[in-house]
Amino acid sequence: MLRNVYGLDLGTYEIKIYDKKRDKIWKEKNVIAIENGDTVFALGDEAYEMYEKSPDNIQVIFPMKKGEISHFNNMQYLLTQLLKTGRNKRFGAKYVVAVPTNVTEVQRRAFFDLVIHSAAKAKEVNVVERGIADAVGAGLSPQKEKGLFIVNFGGETTELSILSYGGLVLNKIIPTGGSTLDESIVNRVRHHHDFLIGKLTAESLRNEFGLFDHAGLSTLSVVGRNLRTGVPMQKEISVSLVRAAIKESLDEIAQTIKSMLDRTPPDILPEIQKSGLYVTGGLANLSGISTYIEGVTNLNVTIAKNPELSAVKGLRQIISSKELQNLAYSMLDDNFRWMR
């Protein structure tokens, strides 16, 4: 019997899974809710609904932190349950996992161990750098291009990858992502208004206002707590305050992009200057982000279609195409690039 093949993109806030037999991609929140410190109360999307709303006896945990596995057992349990619920039989299946490109060997190995030692009893686990999976999912041909610059704006990190002929030339992970922007909005609202809002409220402000003018609202009324009186109330938050907070957080990313361009080999740099930056990840949906990055870097910016799914779409193609399958490697292979 032919075993199934799964592609896994494990993000801080979402897990994206490709199921080859069904030729389908689905996603679920990367969250687990624990009751009284030891009992699983809810998983995935259901657990995320409890974020910032749960009672004191229920802890809502994100097993990934800054692109790394921070709660290994919880992550392994969550992944096993998501693969099992209503899906094809997953025992003995093969897996291809997108991994961050700038983490230690121990951290990379954790992604491998997560699946190979899980209750799914995987037959084989291969890994591929997320920058490469992103490029494939964005409709590019990384094996044929002399120079590509991929920017993945994620939930807690931004991953920068410069590729040449299917290999990594430079890569860096910045601890700045969507949650960083939301924290910046929370802090700025607190500082200017003595008013406390939650991160989910900050996210709604970020998504509503974006980065540049449009025919939308100039203020938005949100619920929070007056820090002087301690009383819950509504308050109007201005677009200018939110955008200032967003741009403050994005500045580090823009400066790091410029720094990487300065370090790019001279034979590759002209190709990148010609093709520009390719942007993926959930935060790429933020209104005005391409205009902002173009203004800072003087490079054209192309936002991938459905950018939050670029990596898992790349995994689908790598799994399905004989031409692309060599982009993924087994960590048990003596010739594996990370184990040399």
pLDDT score for 213? 65
Q: 2 pLDDT exceeds 80? A: no
Report the C-alpha gap between 184 and 188 in whole angstroms: 6
pLDDT given for residue 211 in this prediction: 86
Report residue 165 as tokens. Answer: 């002929």
Say what the pTM is: 0.89
Pick the closest to residue 186 from 207, 168, 175, 201 (CA basis).
201
Whether the Cβ atoms of residue 111 and residue 8 lie closer than 8 Å to each other: no
Q: What is the pLDDT of residues 50-92, one digit of tens each?
A: 998 888 899 999 998 888 888 888 898 888 888 775 455 556 7
Backbone angle region of 121, left / alpha / beta, with phi > 0 → left and psi within -120 to 50 → alpha:
left
Confidence grade of residue 339 (pLDDT, cut at 50, 70, 90)? very low
Tens of pLDDT, residue by residue over 9-46, are 999 899 999 999 999 999 999 999 999 888 999 999 99
Q: Which tens digit of pLDDT belongs to each residue from 105-148?
A: 777 788 888 887 766 667 888 999 999 999 999 999 999 999 99
Per the DSSP assignment, residues forming a β-bridge with 236 are: 221
Q: How confident is the model at residue 90, as a pLDDT?
A: 58
pLDDT tens digits for range 192-251: 999 999 999 999 999 999 887 665 678 899 999 999 999 999 999 999 999 999 998 899
Q: What does the pLDDT look like over 255-277, one tens digit per residue?
A: 999 999 999 999 999 999 999 99
Give residue 336's pLDDT: 47
pLDDT score for 337: 46
Residue whose C-alpha is closest to residue 192's, from 120, 128, 264, 242: 242
Residues listed for the chain: 340
Degrees, nearest 5: CA angle 182-183-184? 90
What does the pLDDT read at residue 338? 42
Cα angle 277-281-285, degrees, rounded to a multiple of 5: 90
| pLDDT average, residue stretch 161-189 | 94
Instruction: Answer whether 65's CB lies under 8 Å from 156's CB.
Output: yes
| Per-residue model confidence (pLDDT) at position 325 | 87
Q: Quote the pLDDT of residue 340.
A: 32
Compare 189 and 104 and report the one with higher pLDDT: 189
User: Max CA-CA distance within the chain?
Assistant: 67
- 182 pLDDT exceeds 70? yes
pLDDT of residue 333: 56
Give the whole-angstrom CA distance, residue 31 versus residue 9. Answer: 14
pLDDT at residue 196, rounded to an integer: 96
For residues 174-188, give the mean pLDDT: 94
Q: Do strands 277-280 and 301-303 pair parallel, antiparallel, or not at all (unpaired)?
A: parallel
**Can you point out the beta strands (E) in 30-90?**
32-35, 39-43, 58-61, 64-65, 68-69
Q: Give 73's contacts (C-beta < 8 A, 6+ positions apart).
A: none
Reported confidence tier of residue 280, pLDDT bands at 50, 70, 90:
very high
